[in-house]
Structures are given as C-alpha cells and as structure tokens.
Copies of this chain bind each other. A is one copy, B any other.
Amino acid sequence: MSSGDGPLFGRVALIGIGLIGSSLARVMRRDGLAGHIAVSSRTRATLDKATELGLADSVTLDSRTVVDGADLVVVCSPLGTYADIAADMGPALKEGCIVTDVGSVKQAVVRDLAPHMPDGVHLVPGHPVAGTEHSGPEAGFAELFDGRWCILTPPPGTDPDAVERMVELWRRAGMMVDVMDAAHHDMVLAITSHLPHLIAYTIVGTATDLSDHLKAEVFKYSAGGFRDFTRIAASDPVMWRDVFLNNKDAVLEMLGRFSEDLTALQRAIRWGEGDKLYDLFTRTREIRRGVVEAKQA
C-alpha cells in the first residue's frame, strides 16, 4: 500500500475541515492519496468554502452519512465534539475502516471514541504536532506538516497494519512519526504545547486588563517580546478550551511546577539575587540549542 501507485485510501471522510483538516486534504489532493474526499462540518459556510477550495468531492452537514463507505475517517474538529460525533457515526462505520483524529490530547480521544467503535473498526488516534494561529479551511496549506512530528497513540491490541497505514499517511505529508502511550503523550504535550498556550493567553489577558492608554502602548512596543505571545494567544478559542478541559491533570501538574519556579524567580528578583537569574538564563540558552539541533526551530 505504500508503493506510491494509486491512492492510499479509496474513500476518506474528514469530519471538520479547519486548519489541520484542510491542510491534510491539500496533501491528499497534491499526492493523490484519496480516491474520494467526503467532508462534513457543522456549518454550511465551511462546507461551501471547502468546495470552493476544491478540497471536497462531497459535503454534508451530517456526521453519520459522511462516513458511509469510508476506508479512513479523520476527526478534525475540537475535542469537545468527539463524543457526539462518535455516537453519531459509530453505527455507520464500515468494517475494516480506520478511525483517526488530529486532536492535541489523546487519552480523552480513547475515552470518547472507543466505546462507539464497532468490532472490526480500527481506532488509531493521532496528533500531528504542527499548526499556526490561524483557523478555518482557507488557513490550511499542504506544507504545514513538513519536517514536524506526528504522534500516534493506538490503544494496546490495535491492528499493526492499521497503525502502519497511518504512519504511511503522515510520512507522505512530510512528517516524522512516533508511536507512544496516550498518557505519555498527554504529559509531554502539556509542557511543550498546552502550558505555553495557557501562559500566552494569560499574559495577553493581563495586558488587556490594563487601562486603555497603556493598552495602545502595549501594541506599539510589542516587538520587545510580547508579540510572540500575542501570536500564540490568537489560536482558536474553542480548540484550546477543549484542550484544557480534556487534559486537566497533566496541565495542572505542569502548571504547578511552573508556578513554583516562577515564584522562586520572583523571590530572586525581589532580593536582588542576580546569580540565580544568571544561572537560569544561561541554562535556558542551552535548551534553545537543543531545539535548533532537533531542527524544530
């Protein structure tokens, strides 16, 4: 199936077609990976846009009929919609079908999707670790995944062939693929993604609460560091609300560590302990080298 001859999947259903879903659709179009792309969304406007962009062979508002005859179903909607979608599409899934997703939390996916999967359907949750602060089908682009990592978290006992087909799909999208336990994924992403977003949202909110006069200046002088946070804090509000609600334990654990560390720094500033500041700032500079060396900069 990985020979490159013919589509990788006959019929693909995308449930949701925002930044990630539409980027994946573009990859499938570019490389001819899908015989037919069926798309469902909650709004007609999104479906119209997907059609206009040439990303869908068929569209529907119905998350049950969209999976009819599908060999691959990719859930690309916010995590909070998964349970309803699963209950809806479950009875219509074809035997042998692979069901996957692109959500940023993985234990919750198993919790919400697995109970509705009929026998003979393969659940292979996935998380392409890539994104921008933009959302919607027009925000996607095929190169979004290039050189980034995708994490698959198949539950124990998942058919290895189904996992291999998902590895192949994401490789075709330009990604490197790791397979790991869902709980481990959720802990790692809590520190590398969820906590950074939470902090960016917080500091931008703190600035928003300043007086209007100060606020205008916050925009003007944002090149001093703030603008990077505003970019992250412009990410999709629904998607991120659902991330925090669905990865509560790991986020609270990492947030606890962060708060302790921040309080220690606050104390060092108050008492003028320059050596402590210098030591930390030197250590963190090394970390940047690690990111650059991992080619993720």
Measured CB to CB, the residues of A under 8 A from B are 80, 104, 129-131, 133, 148-149, 151, 178, 187-189, 191-210, 214-215, 217-235, 237-238, 240-242, 244-245, 248, 251-252, 254-255, 257-259, 261-262, 265-266, 269-270, 272, 274, 277-278, 280-291, 293-294, 296-297
Judging by beta carbons under 8 Å apart, are A228 and B222 in contact?
Answer: no
Give 7 nearest A-B pairs by CB, closest first.
A193-B224, A234-B288, A237-B281, A196-B225, A219-B294, A233-B284, A204-B284
Q: What separation, in Å, do the CA atoms of A209 and B238 have in the docked complex?
A: 31
A266 B277 Cβ-Cβ under 8 A? no
Integer count of this chain's copies in the complex = 2
- The chain B residue with its CB closest to the CB of A191 is B207
Q: Report yes or no: A257 in contact with B206, Cβ–Cβ below 8 A.
A: yes
Determine if B129 and A203 form an interchain contact, defined as CB atoms under 8 angstroms apart: no
**Do residues A217 and B203 form an inter-chain contact, with CB atoms below 8 A?**
no
Query: Roughly how many angstroms separate A206 CA and B196 CA in the complex, as a whole number?
Result: 11
Given the known interface contacts A210-B191, A280-B201, the answer about A296 and B262 at a Cβ–Cβ threshold of 8 Å is: no
CB <8 Å contact, A188 and B221 = yes
CB of A253 to closest CB in B, whole Å: 11
Taking a contact as CB atoms under 8 Å apart, the answer to whether A192 and B221 are in contact is yes
**8 Å CB contact of A221 from B193, B205, B262:** B193
Q: Cβ of A278 and Cβ of B238 under 8 Å apart?
A: yes
11 inter-chain pairs at a CB distance below 8 angstroms, sorted by A residue, are A191-B203, A193-B221, A201-B284, A218-B287, A219-B287, A220-B294, A226-B291, A234-B288, A235-B285, A237-B278, A245-B272
Q: Which of B129, B149, B219 is within 8 Å of A293, CB to CB?
A: B219
Distance between A243 CB and nearest chain B CB, rounded to angstroms = 9
